[in-house]
Amino acid sequence: MAKILLQTTIPTIEDDWNIGRFSLLRDLLAQEHEVVARDRQSLPLADDPVLASLADSDFDELWLFAVDLGDGITHDECAAIAEFRRRGGGLMVARDHMDLGSSVCDLAGVGAAHHFHTRNVDPEIAKQGRDDTGTPAIDWPNFHSGSNGDVQTIEVIAPAHAVLKRSDGSTLSLFPAHPHEGAVSAPRADPTARDIARGRSTITGRPFNLAVAFDSAAGEGNAIAESTFHHFADYNWDVGMGCPSFLSEPPSDRIAKDPSLIDDIKTYCNNLARWLAAAR
């Protein structure tokens, strides 16, 4: 059993992506692990006490949901997270479109896998421009994998990573969809990193990475970078759970009609929890 910290990069704000909007993930992981779920403590110009002391904590893994506008984690917190991973702690970092969650660029290793509109820009994505044009306020990267409440078919990149396999050895095939996913890719200079899954835009047909895995050695913790936190959000598993008022896109009822469509993402989360704790 691992001790897992589910943490957002914003204070508790009711009409936002606070940690309460990841309750289905919390409950799923709590079936096998000890789970602490919290938002950032609201201390202006100060460090979050839990993140800043993470390296000396008894947590085995951190699932960080970067839902901020670019200022969600401090320099000292990044250093503590890096030391946590150096000591064997597992790390999952998820962001979203454009510059949402761009504070993760300051994280050692995993931060380099995340590309944004103004930070760590991928020139090819910048050249291609917008993918989803249905929400004018959101610029690239904004890959449209489908409506919230729907699923997308994923391409598992060979050789299939352990987190993408079912117990019978077959590979997972479905992830929750989202109208504007962000961009991730394996840093070329990091031999421990590789792209493990791709999606494809329902608007342009462009392929884009869904997840990058860092299979670390020498006692360092495993890590993963996700193209969007919507793979894990309540609203993307069950639209009946609701969402912040600023979401304007109409949802799909596909998962509501067939809840078994999210069996794969549940398997993925359970696999991920075990894999992230491996070094501990």
In terms of C-beta density within 10 A (0-12 exposed, 13-18 middle, 19 or more buried), how is residue 156 classed?
Answer: middle
pTM, two decimals, is: 0.97
Confidence of residue 44 (pLDDT cuts 50, 70, 90): low
Tell me the average pLDDT across 226-240.
98
Q: Are 268 and 276 in contact (CB under 8 A)?
A: no
* Predicted local distance difference test score (pLDDT) of residue 63: 98
Nearest residue to 65 (alpha-carbon basis) of 233, 250, 219, 234: 233
Token pair listed for 229: 């936190």
Tell me the average pLDDT across 253-267.
98
Question: What is the SS3 assignment for 32?
Answer: coil
Quote the percentage of the chain above a pLDDT of 70: 99
Q: Which domains does the chain have, with CATH numbers?
A: 3-276 (3.40.50.880)
* Predicted local distance difference test score (pLDDT) of residue 12: 95
Tell me the average pLDDT across 10-21.
97
Question: What is the SS3 assignment for 50?
Answer: helix
Question: Using CA of residue 178, residue 182, residue 185, residue 190, what is the dihedral sign?
Answer: negative
* Predicted local distance difference test score (pLDDT) of residue 22: 98
Tell me the average pLDDT across 182-194.
96
* Predicted local distance difference test score (pLDDT) of residue 60: 98
